[in-house]
Structures are given as C-alpha cells and as structure tokens.
Structure 1
C-alpha cells in the first residue's frame, strides 16, 4: 500500500514529451498526459491518431524514442509491480489460437498475484468474482472460441479484473460489441470506478461510458489537441447509434477537431 504523502498523491500515469515511431513513421510526437488516482480518462481521436500506440507505450509494448513514462511514480523502465495494472487489448488482437476455457482465460490474469503460479482459495475466489462481474459465470467451462464477440470482450475484461488492479487500461473495449454487452461492460466499469479503480480507456466515441468519463484527451496526428471536459457530439453525430470515425482528419492545427464524436470547436 502506498505511503501517504508519496506516490498516493502523485499521478498514476504520467507521460512527458513521449515520442514513438512505427518503422520510419513517427506516431507519437510529444505526448503529455497525466491520469490521477481515481480518474476515468478517455483517449479519443480518429483512426491513426495515436490512441492505441499511447496505451501500448504505457504498458511497454511500444518502445519510445524520447520522453518519459511513469507508473505510480516509478519510471516505466524500472516498474515491476504489474499486478497493479490491468490491460484489456483490442479484441481483434487478443484472440489466440490456443483453445482454453473461459475460466482458464480469466485465471491467466490472476497469475501475477500468485506465488509460483499456485492458486490459493483467494485466487480462485477472485476469478469467480471477475466472471460474476461481467456476467459470464454461466459460461465458465465453455471454450472461448464458442463465444460471441461481445462475450469474448467480457472475458478479456474479466481477465484484467481478476488481478484486482488499481489501474485499468482498456483499448477500444466497446468496438464491435453488441448493445447488451456494452451495457454489461458499462455497469462493470461503473462498479470498478466506485471501488476506486483508475481507468485509462481508448474510445472512438463515449457511448455507454459517457457518464463515467471525468476527462477526455483528444489526439490528432500523434499530438494532444484537447485535454479537458469530454466533447459533445453535434449534428448527425449526436443521433442515436451513430458510430462514424474520421480517418481523414484535418491537418494538425487546421480547423475543428474531428473525433468519433463529431466536431469539437
């Protein structure tokens, strides 16, 4: 547990001047981002704006070429307490070829809390609790390959929650998910936030998560162009069910900000 007056008062996530390249192409061009304890921060932006690269840089999946990243006040390169961090990848990148049951998949998220991979009573209870949270307890013995897209997404979130993380990082958790699963996921996240979990989530649009979002950080061309209250959808983007993303973003610095939410003046 953090000591009062030290890491507890500092940001949970801090990026300062972070740059990253994918091959010869710069993707992040000096990102500054802070997520404080208990906050729910949404990363918004068009396709290719750098949202997913940002969160993957935070967890070390993407190397940075400049700048600093800290987790719980510790430089990421020296951070070792990964049990405090839960990560939900994009569903399209998370479906492996290995056959596993729902319980086995969720239990893999608990390994960071075990000693030598040996599960105690508390570990089994945490896995069951995570399954209950996402409404998948009745599918515990099924193969993950037998699940719908929305159910699979619930399992990925349960896997992250099994470790009882203090920080939950989610990359497009609502993408391609049916409305019923969106509501379950929103309710699950609401419970985690109420319990004090800090959340950094990549979204195309706020959707069912809008009431939970404290702050929105909008990226464009690898730069932060808005950090503050969540933008409101306008015009056709405010219509129910609208889910349009703008890959044809305006050049940096020109015109209004385009996101999956529409225009932010």
Structure 2
C-alpha cells in the first residue's frame, strides 16, 4: 500500500503526486494491559521503510510491551496497528518481519546446534517444504554476518551469553526481513558482541531494512539511530532525535549534563531543557 503526500517546501518532502511507501509500522492510540494492569496508555508509533527507531525509557515504561503488541504477542485492548499498510488482523506476511526477543537461552532448553536454531528462521519461507540449497546458503550467510559460522555445528548450550544472542540475531536475519525488531539486544552482552551487532545492523540498514530497537543505552548503535521514542508510564514522552544520555537520562525534564557528549548529542541538549 502506498500513499501520496504534498510537498510543503523546497526539498522538504516528495513532490505532489509521487507515491511513497506506507510505514512498515503504524501504531495509533495503543492500549494494552498485562495481568489486568494497564501498561500502554495510548501509544502512537510509526516506523518508515529504512528507518531505525529506538524505544527508550525506564524499566516498566512499556517498551517491551510495545514491540510485543507489534508482533502480536500482547493483544491490543484499544487502538489500531498496521504492518506494511495492512491492518494487523489481516497481516499474513510474517516472513517480512524478523524478531529478536530479550536475551534468553537460544534453544529454549531444547538440545540443538547453532545451525538448527538459525534454520528455524527460514520456516516462513519454505512453508514446511524440505530445506533447499537456497535455505542452507541463507543460514550460512546469516551465521557469517554475526561471526558464528565456525560454530554452526556446536550446541547452543555451549555458547556464552553474547554468542547465544548472536545466534538469535542470525535466526532473525536469515529470512532477509524488511522489518527487524530487537528487544534489548545489548543487555548483558560483551563489548565484542555489541560491536558485531552494530556492524550487522549497519549492513541491514544499507540493505534497506527498517529497524525497531528496545534499548536502555544507545552505545555503539547511536550513529545508526534516526529517531528515538521515549516512553514514560505507558505514554510517549518524546518522539524525535535521540536525547543525550539515552536510557534513564533520556526522559524529558532530566537536566544532567554529560561533559563527554559528542557534538551530535550536544545539538540535542535543547530537547531536555
């Protein structure tokens, strides 16, 4: 689905009549509860094709619940959700979406090799057909992208936490998704794996994928972030350039000055004043 928008100023938007793709995610007025407790209280969120959006906020602000509503793991009690211009209830093209959950045991407690875990990410493509050469090649490419091809035959239970996170990322990448959703991919991950993640995401963005990330701190991902959506108590408190000192310091009204902030962050300081 596409939409046509009108140019409002020189170079500010595409010219009148030129169709542009619909957002890959459009969440409007999202309401959701967990255990009878309201968690989302009218969240609006859009992610455009090729855009990298970070969800920031304190623990319990609704970040993970927001992405879980997008993938359907938490039902909406109110509001609307569209994926690639299609209402959520009619969306069936899940091969276009890759999801990396919060860090957990990659095999879910079931003995499995690295290759077997990553291969499950191709299920949406071959729809229960036998694995083909193209599927095996896609698994190899995904493992190579995260630096785990040499461990393909190893059991995931023998891997470190950072290595298991790489396996989960490879599983999400193996289908070449147009939308990649990652829930706190940096949590508890060593610096080497953080850099692998940053490099991997950079390649995915260059390929044209949109990325929605739940983060506490931007870290090495900061150069990739186009927009930050800060949640507070289940509501959007900020939607725009990433504020300096992401995470707890990103909440509007926080006036702590980071003397080490780079020029890009310094330009955003006014967002918090």
Match of 1:116 in 2: 128
| TM-score normalised by the chain length of structure 1 | 0.87
Matches within 5 A, 1:82-97: 82-92=94-104, 96-97=108-109
Match of 1:39 in 2: 51
- Deviation, 1:95, is 5.2
Match of 1:158 in 2: 170
Match of 1:12 in 2: 24
| TM-score normalised by the chain length of structure 2 | 0.84
How far apart, CA to CA, are the structure 2 residues paired with 1:230 and 1:13? 19
Match of 1:146 among 125, 149, 158: 158
Q: Which moves more between the two structures, 42-51 or 110-119?
A: 110-119
Matches within 5 A, 1:214-253: 214-233=226-245
Match of 1:134 among 146, 151, 164: 146
Could you say what secondary structure the match of 1:63 adopts? Answer: coil
| Alpha-carbon RMSD | 2.6
Aligned: 1:57 with 2:94 = no
Aligned residues: 248
Gaps of 5+ in 2: 5-17, 257-264
Matches within 5 A, 1:161-172: 161-172=173-184
Runs of 4+ in 1 over 4 A off after TM superposition: 2-8
Match of 2:254 in 1: 256
Aligned: 1:29 with 2:44 = no
Q: Which moves more between the two structures, 197-206 or 2-11?
A: 2-11
Q: Flag the structure with larger Rg.
A: 2
- Deviation, 1:257, is 8.5
Aligned: 1:173 with 2:185 = yes
Q: Which moves more between the two structures, 59-68 or 8-17?
A: 8-17
- Deviation, 1:9, is 1.5
Could you say what secondary structure the match of 1:109 adopts? Answer: helix
How far apart, CA to CA, are the structure 1 residues paired with 2:242 and 2:114? 35
- Deviation, 1:24, is 2.0
Match of 1:212 in 2: 224
- Deviation, 1:118, is 1.6
Q: Tell me, yes or no, if the aligned pair for 1:11 and 1:72 is still in contact at 8 Å.
A: yes
- Deviation, 1:92, is 3.0
- Deviation, 1:117, is 3.6
